[in-house]
Structure 1
Amino acid sequence: MHLTEAEKSLMDIIWEQGDMPAKELVRLADERLDWRRTTMYTILKKLIEKNMVKNENAEVSCLISRKEYENMQKKGAIRKYFSGSLPEFVNAFIREEELTDDEVKELEDIISSYKKSKKS
């Protein structure tokens, strides 16, 4: 799922503040983004349509956490640019970057830890 820059800006406020009255979100959007009330509600409507938030009884609340959104973005990028292959993704970066010994060790530790967790 893609968020526009404006949608992401409003979500950043919601993620930071948590559930809040819509009028408080209007105030914060005005204060931080210099948005009018109508602009905030237009963007909020788009976020509701994307099932990112809900607005019930003038209370705005998240349906997707920042971490969930970031994970969706990562998985989407791997699908889009690497045909869904995590090894291809890792390989592309390893070929392009000079990894330090510490970075190689860290990657090995991550894989080792993953293998151990799969055996449990």
Structure 2
Amino acid sequence: MQLTKAEEQVMHILWTLGEGTVQDILKEFEGESKPARTTIATVLNILESKEFVKHHTSGRINIYSPVVTKESYSKGQLFGFIKNYFNGSFSALASFFAKEANLSVEEMDALLEEARQTLTDEEKEKLNKK
């Protein structure tokens, strides 16, 4: 599910904090153009209806925490991006990235080796869990 920019901003803050109140989240916004307290509360209500956050109450204060992890959301966004812009092709994405970033052959080899190592490590973890 795609989040709006405001929803993503609040989620990034919650992912960093682990949990927080509306006031805690508001404190994390930088600069003079901080959103209103009611705006943060509204965004949190929307995120809760989308099942991205949950809350518990302490006294009269709601304390919010993420339900969806940053990693899970990021993975979904990345795969959606690859599907929508590169027809689901990782090789098309890698080719585009290599051209746009003007990567050398050595840099591409290093990226591929890192990917291979990550996949090998993940496979080893899966085998150890069985």
User: How does the TM-score come out when normalised to structure 1?
Assistant: 0.77
> How far does residue 26 in structure 1 lie from its aligned partner after superposition?
2.4
Question: Which residue does 1:28 correspond to in 2?
Answer: 25
Q: Aligned residue pairs: how many?
A: 117
Asked whether 1:66 is paired with 2:70, we answer yes
RMSD: 2.6
> How far does residue 29 in structure 1 lie from its aligned partner after superposition?
1.0
| 1:45/1:115 CA distance change after superposition, 3 Å | closer
Instruction: Give unmatched runs, 5+ long, in structure 1.
Output: none
Aligned-partner SS, 2:29: helix
Instruction: Give unmatched runs, 5+ long, in structure 2.
Output: none
Of 45-54 and 107-116, more deviation after overlay is shown by 107-116
User: How does the TM-score come out when normalised to structure 2?
Assistant: 0.72
Aligned-partner SS, 1:43: helix
- The equivalent position to 2:97 in structure 1, one of 87, 93, 96, is 93
> How far does residue 77 in structure 1 lie from its aligned partner after superposition?
0.2
Following superposition of structure 1 onto structure 2, how do residues 1-120 of structure 1 map, counting pairs within 5 Å?
Answer: 1-20=1-20, 22=21, 25-29=22-26, 32=29, 34-57=34-57, 58-113=62-117, 116=120
